[in-house]
Copies of this chain bind each other. A is one copy, B any other.
Amino acid sequence: MAAPPAESPLILISNDDGIDAPGIRALTAALDGLGELMVVAPAQEQSAVGHAITVRMPVRAHERTMEVPSGTVPAYAVTGTPADCIKLAITQLTPRRPALIVSGINRGPNTAVNVIYSGTVSAATEGAISGIDAMAVSLCKWKAEAAADYEAAGRYARRMAEEILAQGLPPGVLLNVNVPDQPYRDIRGIAITRQARSRWEESFEARTDPLQRPYYWMAGTFVNLDEGDNTDIEAVEGGYVSATPLQLDLTAHDHLQALRKWTW
């Protein structure tokens, strides 16, 4: 690869769709030249693993490279989850502490309550836990559809990575970015949003196997329960890239006082 300056920021790239997914290749190509890049991503698809970590088995890291316009960048395929990838990368694989972690580009939205299930977001969360600026990027296109076009998402990922490198995120805050499935020229800009309130409904379907034993497939319908302003869903539906700052503190601070009045 074209050697970046010695003090070039190290950018660690990961995802949950696996190292061979088109989204992470598009992301790595889009960030080419912005700093020294390294890819550490799951060897296999890890969608919906949430913030799982591998504690009962060893993990392995297989060295390879990934092509970018200027040449190749070092890459590792890890036999683990996205959170494993980041922990392993920053403790064992990167030559120095990354300046930024970028996870994605996920195929499918990670808006609203989906952040809780998302391996893409968990890789960025692991960065925030370790005090490293981090961003998760998702393309709002559903999996069952035709081939995805990552061009717009890649361009916005680069632009937002540059801004994070320049400004620095607040400690313990990561940025969750969702890009509308539209050509770059049709996207209206970036909106700073909040996570929409939502849920999944009727999420299992009962079936019977050829031996007459019951089994269940997860199905379900996503329900947006939020009619307020400035949500990630509203932004994406309006043609904006949504950027939601997420935090690690899950405490419901607004309810502490009321709970203290219960008869414990």
Point out residues on A near B: beta carbons under 8 Å. 45, 47-56, 58-61, 83-84, 87-88, 91-92, 113, 115-117, 122, 125, 129-131, 159-160, 163, 167, 170, 172-173, 175, 189-190, 192, 194-195, 197, 199-200, 202-204, 206-207, 213-218, 220, 230, 243-253, 255-256, 258-260, 262-264
Contact = CB atoms under 8 A, between A and B. Distances in A.
Decide if the interface of chain A is mainly helix, strand, loop or mixed: mixed
Contacts of A173: 252, 255
Contact of A214 (B49, B60, B207): B60
Contacts of A217: 58
A200 B129 contact: yes
Given A48-B55, A51-B50, A264 B189 contact: yes
A75 B42 CA distance: 35
Total copies of this chain within the assembly: 2
Contacts of A50: 49-53, 83, 122
Contacts of A252: 170, 172-173, 245-247
A91 B192 contact: no
Contact of A60 (B47, B83, B216, B253): B216
A13 to B, nearest CB: 19
Contact of A260 (B58, B192, B263): B192
Given A50-B50, A55-B218, A214-B60, A204 B88 contact: yes
A247 B160 CA distance: 28
A51 B253 contact: no
B264 A59 contact: no
